[in-house]
């Protein structure tokens, strides 16, 4: 699998969904590839913190437009992420395989306390992430100009963005009433 697919999808899907992102926080213990993708958005600042709760506690309230998290989400993590996100913020977070419906329904239930939209999306490498948004819908509010004006991409584009949210019927049925779109 091409190593550029995962970071392009983790970064550009949430960043190209937010109307006017100014700041992005990457939560990762190994954020080199994600940070390199963020540099393609020259007008958006980004920072990186490690994958522990103490790092999150030190981030100011309502100070971030987009969070890209490789930290597993639980109630405490999601509460802190919601606290630091602005009122129209997005979260892209890794999760267990969609086949693990039990743990995903728990995580989606926690996310539903803070986010209007919660949708899994295909990362293009056989796994999925969850996009949770306080305001914007990832396909209806896609910023086409931003998504198609990025330089040096190998995988991501506006068509891939929209297509990444397509899920098989058995997944839709399994998560009926849990996925919020």
Q: Is 177 left (phi over 0), alpha (psi -120 to 50) or beta?
A: left
Q: How confident is the model at residue 40 (pLDDT cuts 50, 70, 90)?
A: very high
- Residue 181 domain flag: no
| CATH code where residue 29 lies | 3.40.50.150
The three-state DSSP-derived secondary structure of the chain is CCCCHHHHHHHHHHHCCCCCCCEEEEECCCCHHHHHHHCCCCCCEEEEECCCHHHHHCCCCCCEEEEEECCCCCHHHHHHHHHHEEEEEEEEEECCCCCCHHHHHHHHHHHCCCCCEEEEEECCCCCEEEEEECCCCCCCCCCHHHHHCCCCCCCCCHHHHHHCCCCCHHHHHHCCCCCEC
Are residues 26 and 50 in contact, defined by beta-carbon separation less than 8 angstroms? no
Please state the rounded mean pLDDT for residues 70-79.
94
Please state the rounded mean pLDDT for residues 65-91.
96
48/24 Cα distance (integer angstroms): 9
Are residues 45 and 22 in contact, defined by beta-carbon separation less than 8 angstroms? yes
pLDDT recorded at residue 1: 57
Give the pLDDT confidence of 20-30 residue by residue, as tens digits: 899 999 999 99
Range of the domain at 55: 5-174
Model confidence, pTM: 0.95
- Residue 179 domain flag: no
Strand partners, 148: none
Chain-wide mean pLDDT for the chain? Answer: 93
- Residue 87 domain flag: yes
Give the pLDDT confidence of 125-175 residue by residue, as tens digits: 889 999 999 999 999 999 998 888 898 999 999 999 999 999 999 998 999
pLDDT recorded at residue 53: 87
- Residue 91 domain flag: yes
Please state the rounded mean pLDDT for residues 92-107.
92
pLDDT recorded at residue 131: 97
Number of domains in the chain: 1
Quote the percentage of the chain above a pLDDT of 90: 80
């Amino acid at each position: 699998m091409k190593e550029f697919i995962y970071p392009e999808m983790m970064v550009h899907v949430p960043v190209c969904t937010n109307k006017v992102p100014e700041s992005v926080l990457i939560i990762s213990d190994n954020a080199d590839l994600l940070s390199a993708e963020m540099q393609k958005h020259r007008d958006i600042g980004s920072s990186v913190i490690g994958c522990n709760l103490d790092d999150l506690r030190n981030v100011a309230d309502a100070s971030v437009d987009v969070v890209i998290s490789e930290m597993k989400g639980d109630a405490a993590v999601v509460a802190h992420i919601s606290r630091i996100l602005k009122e129209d913020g997005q979260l892209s977070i890794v999760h267990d395989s969609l086949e693990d419906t039990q743990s995903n329904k728990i995580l989606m239930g926690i996310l539903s306390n803070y986010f209007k939209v919660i949708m899994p999306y295909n990362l293009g490498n056989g796994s999925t992430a969850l996009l949770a948004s306080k305001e914007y819908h990832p396909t209806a509010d896609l910023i086409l100009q931003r998504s198609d004006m990025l330089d040096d991409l190998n995988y991501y584009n506006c068509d891939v963005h929209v297509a990444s949210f397509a899920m098989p019927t058995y997944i839709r049925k399994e998560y009926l009433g849990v996925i919020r779109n």
